[in-house]
Amino acid sequence: MRITQARVTQILSGSYTGDATVNKAIPHGLGVIPKAVLIARKEGYYQYRIMNQQAAIWCWNATTNTYKAVTAMDAVNFYVGNSANYEESANGNLSIYRWIAIG
């Protein structure tokens, strides 16, 4: 008898309001370090991603393609906000963000 295992991927989502602080912790609820977190800002067409346990958040829109250092994701939280530019690090003051985390 052959036994096979299927890898279960969990995807959770949520939203938060930015507060222009460094390394704001956003609980993702996966219980494991996410493989990827994708974030979209409600206004302004900014998109963000955190991938492969990197300690950086990538930002892009029509005029920006950059990354900012943040604390690396862990099994509880992902982190946003770099004082060099809060808008480009997904933590602009009072901006609304929607995210999905893939485990």
Q: List, for residues 25-82, the tens digit of each pLDDT value.
A: 999 999 999 999 999 998 878 999 999 889 999 999 888 899 999 999 999 999 999 9
pLDDT at residue 5 above 70? Answer: no
What residues does each domain of the chain span? 11-102
* C-alpha span between 15 and 40 (Å, rounded): 9
Q: How many beta carbons lie within 10 A of that of residue 5, not counting itself?
A: 5
Task: Look at residue 87 in the predicted model and tell me its pLDDT.
Answer: 93
* C-alpha span between 48 and 89 (Å, rounded): 8
If you ran DSSP here, which 8-state letter would residue 8 be given? P
Query: What's this model's pTM, rounded to 2 decimal places?
Result: 0.88
- Rama region for 33: left / alpha / beta (φ>0; ψ in -120 to 50; rest): beta
